[in-house]
Amino acid sequence: MRESRYEHFPHDADVGVRGIGASPAEAFEEAALALTAVITDPVRVDAAERVEIRCEAPDIELLLADFLNAVIYEMATRGMLFGRYEVKIEGASLEAAAFGERVDVEKHRPIVEAKGATLTSLRVEQRADGTWLAQCVVDV
Amino acid sequence: MDLSLLERESESVWRVEPTGDMRVPGILYADESLVREMDEKVLEQLRNVASLPGIVRAAYAMPDAHWGYGFPIGGVAAFDPDEGGVVSAGGVGFDISCGVRSLHTGLTLDDVRPKQKALADQLFRDIPAGVGSAGRIRLDGDAMDAMLRGGAHWAVEQGYGTREDLERIEERGCMRGAEPEYVSERAKARQRDEMGTLGSGNHYLEIQHVAEIFDREAAEAFGLEEGDILATIHCGSRGLGHQIGTEFLRDMAAAAAKHGIHLPDRELACAPIRSELGQIYLGAMRAGINCALANRQIITHLTRRAFERVLPKAVLTVLYDVSHNTCKVERHAVNGEEKEVFVHRKGATRAFGPGHPDLPPELRDVGQPVLIGGSMGTESYVLRGTRESEALSFSSSCHGAGRAMSRHQAKRTWSGREVVDELARRGIIVRSPSMRGVAEEAPLAYKDVRAVVDAAERAGLSRKVARVEPIVCIKG
């Protein structure tokens, strides 16, 4: 199994997004892919445009929520989807690039909008095997 | 949920006495089978809400309660500003003023059956739904602020509907105290192209027929007869509300310590009503309520236009418009004294009983219409408020079926095509831009709405008036 990956976990009304990676930054990238995967399969999204995202937060968990909410904001206001992310984290500030294209209903068959990343089940932590986990529930 | 965690007060009332940090008891209204199906997280969240500063009487959970964000979905709690009471962004939710509006059409099932497919296609063309859809109205600057201040009033002034529509909307279509300047530019940017859009997820527009009447007198007052056709809209404040919810949840979580509030769960994020942050949130949240009311008003207009093209003899009038994610200032009895309190309803519907002064005169004898959406393709209910619900739940009732199965599991269990074909066999036409979205909303992924409204009736929260079944469903 690849070291970095994303997955979804169940919530009563909504859906949990989880990224796992060798570093917090990789785990954040994977969590953002999990967010894309709530809406469409990330491999369907071409990296035609690059969008810059910057966030700062009091701690790394709120940084994850802020980052995912910034992604949701860029998707909503630009009418875009992102299929790839590059994240750099220093302390509690983050610089990221999201690569994607405009929503095409025929091509992407989007399932549902993401309303916001929540603080429910919000966790960023190093696991026993040394890899990092970044997760929260997304309201859809 | 393990029943031994609760004390059973009567057939449909369950209680948790205050322990630990709880300031008031937790009270859950549901019958035994609903309680058994409920996640224990509901109880944990109810206890947490009961521990917030300034809470009065009790933290309540409605029969459709499930695991939410800080507050359970199906949660009701009121706070007294004189006792350090708080306002909570999580207690209102991300989709501020999400709600249900039902319209009479003046048509019967016999009128609509021959045109059912044409009507479904027209509605699907005219009402923007789903991810990436944009409305035809673009709002910027002053026009955005006017909408946030005026709500459905603003929409009517712009030509979307009539003055008579406003009489049948909570707050007469305009939430007072909205402060558009407290709504961030980012929230406004998310709304720019989203006026008059349905959204996605569990939001829908349905054409329904009245299948059963339970209460003849109330049905007559509501103008409902068996076979009547209704159009029902379920949606909220779109991107603007989501962004307000997101921003304040975070800001309230970060500021809790400064306000001396211990949060057992960050999602309980709240601020004292009498704090700068609390007041700013209230102004922004009320603007979000107006956004939802304006949005449902514009969708009403689009629905009327679609009917005109397909069934020109239809006359669409508003039965009622309810919101189920709000915080409102209301007068309620607290320790034998009538007080102004801040009532949070997260996935719960206001349900004023007969005689309430806020009801329009023609509804005052029967009580407020309470509109309950079921899952796609099953059934929905029209209830009415009761006098006793004031003492039971600050005049609140349930809001819908509530999910029984996660989206994840639903998508693995059914395909959208299967769901659409099965509903078509039962005479229900579904139109949606997303088949996988339809699979996530499959009827069996939800609890039985009948069990929920029956429990609400047994508990005295509201009374059944009519049951409606869909014939057309437009899903985002």
A positions 48-77 inside 8 Å of B (CB)? 58, 62, 65-66, 69, 72-73, 76-77
Task: Decide if pLDDT at A1 tops 70.
Answer: no
- Residue B446 is classified by DSSP as B
pLDDT tens digits for range B202-233: 899 999 999 999 999 999 999 999 999 999 99
pLDDT tens digits for range B247-277: 999 999 989 999 999 998 888 999 999 999 9
Comparing A54 with B376, the larger pLDDT belongs to A54
A78 touches chain B (CB under 8 A): no
DSSP bridge partners of B232: B102, B206
B78: amino acid identity, one letter? A
Q: Chain B closest CA to A12's CA: distance in Å?
A: 6
Does residue B436 lie within any of the structural domains? no
pLDDT tens digits for range B402-428: 888 888 888 889 999 999 999 999 999
Does residue B297 lie within any of the structural domains? yes
Choose the mutation target among B407, B414, B432 for the interface with A, i.e. most A CBs under 10 Å: B407
Does residue B285 lie within any of the structural domains? yes
H or E segment at A16? Answer: strand A15-21
Q: Chain A closest CA to B15's CA: distance in Å?
A: 23
Report the residue from B66, B254, B434 with minimal CB separation from A12. B66
Nearest 5 degrees, angle CA A114-CA B103-CA B106? 150
Does residue B431 lie within any of the structural domains? no
H or E segment at B164? Answer: helix B163-167
Residue in the block written with tokens 């079926």: B401
Task: Decide if pLDDT at B65 tops 60.
Answer: yes
Whole-number Å distance between alpha carbons of B346 and B43:
15
- Residue B88 is classified by DSSP as E
Residue B384: what are its φ and ψ, rounded to 5°? -130, 150
Choose the mutation target among B67, B250, B376, B447 for the interface with A, i.e. most A CBs under 10 Å: B250
Does residue B425 lie within any of the structural domains? no
Residue A98 tokens, joined:
């999201």
Domain that holds residue B220: 3-404+446-475
Residue in the block written with tokens 């014939």: B471
B positions 297-356 inside 8 Å of A (CB)? none
Does residue B325 lie within any of the structural domains? yes
| Domains and their CATH numbers in chain A | 5-139 (3.55.10.10)
Residues A62, B200: C-beta atoms closer than 8 Å? no
**pLDDT at residue B407, as a whole number:** 84
Residue (of B230, B171, B321, B189) closest to A74 by Cα position? B189
**pLDDT at residue B302, as a whole number:** 97
Helices (H), A40-119: 60-78, 105-108
At B401, the pLDDT band (50, 70, 90 cuts) reads confident
Residue B264 tokens, joined:
């057992």
Spatial contact of B63 and B400, defined as CB atoms under 8 Å apart? no
**pLDDT at residue A29, as a whole number:** 98
Report the residue from A66, A112, A118 with minimal CB separation from B131. A112
Whole-number Å distance between alpha carbons of B230 and B43:
37
At A2, the pLDDT band (50, 70, 90 cuts) reads low
Task: Decide if pLDDT at B10 tops 80.
Answer: yes
Whole-number Å distance between alpha carbons of B322 and B313:
27
**pLDDT at residue A13, as a whole number:** 76
**pLDDT at residue B177, as a whole number:** 98
Closest chain B CA to residue A103? B132
Residues 6+ apart with CB under 8 A from B336: none
Does residue B453 lie within any of the structural domains? yes
Most confident of B66-80, B298-312, B429-443: B298-312
**pLDDT at residue B201, as a whole number:** 86
**pLDDT at residue A3, as a whole number:** 78
Residues A112, B132: C-beta atoms closer than 8 Å? no
Contact list in B for residue A77 (CB cut-off 8 A) is: 189-190, 192, 239
List the strands of the sheet with A49-56, edge to edge: A49-56, A93-102, A80-90
Residue (of B204, B203, B205, B222) closest to B213 by Cα position? B222
**pLDDT at residue B68, as a whole number:** 86
> Domain total for chain B?
1
Q: How far is CA B307 from the centre of its chain?
A: 25
- % of chain B beyond a pLDDT of 90: 87
SS3 assignment, position B360: coil
Average pLDDT on A77-105 reads 96
Average pLDDT on B89-103 reads 96
Does residue B227 lie within any of the structural domains? yes
- Identify the CATH number of the domain in which residue B45 sits: 3.90.1860.10
Closest chain B CA to residue A104? B132
Residue B244 tokens, joined:
């307000």
Tally of CB atoms within 10 A around B405: 18
Spatial contact of B97 and B292, defined as CB atoms under 8 Å apart? yes
Q: Chain A closest CA to B409's CA: distance in Å?
A: 8
DSSP, residue by residue, B366-388: T--EEEEB-STTS-EEEEEE-ST
Residue B459 tokens, joined:
């508990």
pLDDT tens digits for range B125-143: 999 998 878 888 999 899 9
Active site residue B356: no
Average pLDDT on B301-317 reads 98
H or E segment at B424? Answer: helix B416-425
Residue (of B71, B12, B21, B9) closest to B43 by Cα position? B71
DSSP, residue by residue, B66-80: E--SSSPEEEEEEE-
pLDDT tens digits for range B428-474: 999 998 888 899 899 988 889 999 999 999 999 999 999 999 999 99
B positions 400-439 inside 8 Å of A (CB)? 402-403, 406-409, 433-437
Computed from CA positions of residues B95, B96, B99, B105, in that sequence, does the dihedral angle turn out positive or negative? negative
Closest chain A CA to residue B440? A111
In the set B104, B203, B324, B399, the catalytic residue is B399
Whole-number Å distance between alpha carbons of B34 and B190:
38
Whole-number Å distance between alpha carbons of B235 and B253:
27
Residues B201, A109: C-beta atoms closer than 8 Å? no
Task: Decide if pLDDT at B297 tops 90.
Answer: yes
Q: Chain A closest CA to B267's CA: distance in Å?
A: 6
Closest chain A CA to residue B41? A12
Residue in the block written with tokens 């970095």: A4
Residues 6+ apart with CB under 8 A from B130: A105, A110, B198, B200, B432, B433, B434, B437, B475, B476
Spatial contact of B80 and B259, defined as CB atoms under 8 Å apart? no
